[in-house]
Amino acid sequence: MMNAEVHYIEDENLSVAWARAVRPMLARGGPGEVAPMIVAVTGFDNGVPREHGGIRQAVDKMLVDLDMQTSHTVANTLFPDSLWNQSQPRAMLFQRYMAALPRLRKASTKNSHGLYFERMITGGPETRPNQLDFIIETYSKRKGVRRSGLQVGVFDPKIDQTSAAQLGFPCLQHVTFAPTKIGSNAKGLCVNGFYATQYAFERAYGNYLGLCHLGRFVAHELGIPLVRMTCFTGILLHEDKVKGSDIKPLETVIDSVLAGRGGAS
């Protein structure tokens, strides 16, 4: 029987939710993977996810020390937050991103197969390749739109279904957007990301952050607040290249924060 306390985490704070998800892996003899892992974040201030500065700083320091991508860099593969101007039409974001795409691809060999946001705005049919724009436009046109249609596909079997031992991209399969009632008259947006596998330390924090940023953008365009981000992961992996000595300072911060919250784990 699945232990819900290990496999399902919900918290108002993104940093604490991530810390609770990875904490069992830090224990002596802890699991090298958790399957599945579901993490939900419910605390937002004007669409911005609440974070714990100490945890975020410790995560990024470890990633930099190990020559890995920071949480900000990972998050930007899902949504280029720095390119978005809320006061401008969303078309400007898409144009700016496509102009920057060649540079983004060259920035890291990890981007050689593509980036998530790229596929979200180019992976649709030839007649409407921008999946995100289609979702926003469809929802905004009329009431009672089919909510099951509010999703973007990332995994493309035509190019991604390969027998290669290591591919690295895309672990994210698809993202759904679920407008839902949060009161008698109000609506809120839930964003859901589905990963086949996910690295616990190099990727998970940044992926949660990126999904929140993506949800904030779509919620803004739909005119409703972002109320929940849920990340479903088939297998959450403790990557071999992250050793115990590398992670000890981060572990100390996590334990201190969780103890201060009554020992949540």
Q: Are 116 and 168 in contact (CB under 8 A)?
A: no
Q: Tokens at residue 138, please?
A: 């469809």
- pLDDT category at 265 given cuts 50, 70, 90 is very low
**Beta carbons within 8 Å of 78's beta carbon, 6+ residues apart:** 116, 117, 172, 193, 207, 210, 211, 213, 214
**pLDDT tens digits, residue range 145-186?**
777 789 999 877 567 566 555 556 568 989 999 999 876 667
The whole-number average pLDDT for the span 192-211 is 96
DSSP string, 107-159: H-GGGTT--HHHHHHH-S-TTS--HHHHHHHHHHHSTT--GGG-EEE---HHH
- pLDDT category at 30 given cuts 50, 70, 90 is confident
**CATH code matching the domain that covers 4-260, chosen among 3.30.572, 3.40.50, 3.40.1350, 3.30.1640:** 3.30.572
- pLDDT category at 263 given cuts 50, 70, 90 is low
Q: Tokens at residue 52, please?
A: 């714990």
The whole-number average pLDDT for the span 121-126 is 88
**Which neighbouring-strand residues pair with 236?**
34, 198
**pLDDT tens digits, residue range 68-93?**
999 999 999 999 999 999 999 999 99
Whether 67 shows a pLDDT value over 60: the answer reads: yes
**pLDDT tens digits, residue range 202-253?**
999 999 999 999 999 999 999 999 999 999 999 999 998 888 888 999 999 9
